Amino acid sequence: MDWFFNFPDMSRSDLREFKKTVDFAFTDFSRKYGQGIEEFFEPLLMFLVWFEKLFINTPWPVIIFSILLLAWISSRSILIVVGTFLSFMLIGYFGMWEDTMSTLAIILVATFLCIAIGIPLGIAMARSNKVQAAIVPVLDVMQTIPSFVYLIPVVMLLGIGKVPGLIAVCIYAIPPIVRLTNLGIRLVDKDVLEAADSFGANYWQKLFGVQMPLALPTIFAGVNQTIMMALAMVVIASMIGVKGLGLPVLRAISNQYLALGLMNGLAIVILAIIFDRVTQKFGLRMQKYRNEGKD
């Protein structure tokens, strides 16, 4: 009756063998191809470094002015612009300007990457149920697996640095935009699509003329979520060598610096709120035709 009370698991030596095999196999793989993969991501690294330098080296008034202008163009709300201005002044005054710029750079690059990969993926999912069935479980894994778990192979392959950090951020942040692009396209009114069909529209005309524009508010909700999740990954990414607001937080945890942790933590929160409000307002303005139309 032993098997009834103790789970009949595999023997310790077998288990050890199993783990060893997997580990060695992957080590071999990374020895063999690590170099190649690193070279593959070289352009991305260059772009990231260039972008970060651009943010850090541009005089702060120019940066603030550009951000305020962007905030105004997309939200058309004085309240948001004033809030953004005060937030950035505060961040700068407390000496976190450079870290904030680094974080901003990696978030923007990550978001851009997620959009560039995520939207076509979402479109493919909306087009075919089979593609959808194949991708949904992958997204589920990406969203639920603890980030540390996929950090291990990423670091083994690419070492410590910006690119593995960026990849980790993207793995975590890409699911919402894929899901919401798919959903947005699938939710487009069947009657309207039938009308487009009846006038002889082809697939691409339907996609870009009808489905994408009508799905845009939903897709934008996905972009918003992607940015939020990317920001949430900043601290974890700093563990594998991404500079920015996450690094001081990490230092604060290990040394119990309350003030340092709070300040940088709050700076991340402020960035998140600004991004969120601006993109949400933009999303709302895009679907204005649904309520009153003319603008």
Partner 1 sequence: MNSKNILIKVNQLYKIFGDGDKNALDLVKNGMSKDELLEKSNCVLGLNNINLDINRGKIQVVMGLSGSGKSTLIRHLNRLIEPTSGEILFNDTNILNFTSKELIQFRQNNMSMVFQKFALFPHKTVLQNVGYGLAIQNISKDEWSEKAQKWIKRVGLDGYETYYPGQLSGGMQQRVGLARALATDAEILLMDEAFSALDPLIRSEMQNILLDLQSELHKTIIFITHDLDEALKIGDRIAILRDGSMVQDSDPQEIIMNPADEYVSDFIKDINRARVIQARSIMTPTNTKSSGATVKEDMVLEDILQIMSDAPSKPVTIENSKGKVTGKIEMVNLIEGMKRPKSLGTNITG
| CA distances, 187 to each of 115, 220, 235, 283 (Å) | 20, 14, 36, 17
Query: Closest distance between partner 1 and the C-beta of residue 184, in Å?
Result: 13
Q: Which of 205, 253, 262, 269 binds partner 1 (CB under 8 A)?
A: 205
46 binds partner 1 (CB under 8 A): no
Contacts of 263 (CB under 8 A, 6+ apart): 94, 96, 248
CA distance 279 to 47: 24
187 binds partner 1 (CB under 8 A): no
CA distance 107 to 88: 16
277 within 8 A of 80, measured Cβ to Cβ: yes
208 binds partner 1 (CB under 8 A): no
Q: Which of 3, 5, 7, 199 binds partner 1 (CB under 8 A)?
A: 199
Q: Which of 214, 234, 247, 268 binds partner 1 (CB under 8 A)?
A: 214
Q: Which of 79, 86, 192, 262 binds partner 1 (CB under 8 A)?
A: 192
Total chain residues near partner 1 (CB under 8 A): 23
Query: Closest distance between partner 1 and the C-beta of residue 111, in Å?
Result: 25
CA distance 183 to 163: 30
CA distance 72 to 87: 15
Query: Closest distance between partner 1 and the C-beta of residue 75, in Å?
Result: 21
221 binds partner 1 (CB under 8 A): no
6 binds partner 1 (CB under 8 A): no
Query: Closest distance between partner 1 and the C-beta of residue 214, in Å?
Result: 6
- CA torsion through residues 137, 183, 121, 241, sign: negative
Q: Could you tell me the two tokens for 138? A: 């992958």
Q: Which of 138, 141, 195, 253 binds partner 1 (CB under 8 A)?
A: 195
Tell me which stretch binds partner 1 (CB under 8 A): 81-89, 96-104, 189-197, 224-232.
189-197
129 binds partner 1 (CB under 8 A): no
Query: Closest distance between partner 1 and the C-beta of residue 199, in Å?
Result: 4
Closer of 44 and 201 to partner 1 (Cβ): 201
226 within 8 A of 212, measured Cβ to Cβ: no
Contacts of 154 (CB under 8 A, 6+ apart): 164, 167, 168, 240
Closer of 12 and 294 to partner 1 (Cβ): 294
118 within 8 A of 181, measured Cβ to Cβ: yes
Residue 239: name the closest of 138, 140, 144, 151 by CA.
151
Query: Closest distance between partner 1 and the C-beta of residue 80, in Å?
Result: 25
Contacts of 140 (CB under 8 A, 6+ apart): none
Query: Closest distance between partner 1 and the C-beta of residue 192, in Å?
Result: 5
Closer of 25 and 195 to partner 1 (Cβ): 195
CA distance 180 to 223: 9
Residues near partner 1 (CB under 8 A) are 189, 191-192, 194-202, 205, 209-210, 213-214, 289-294
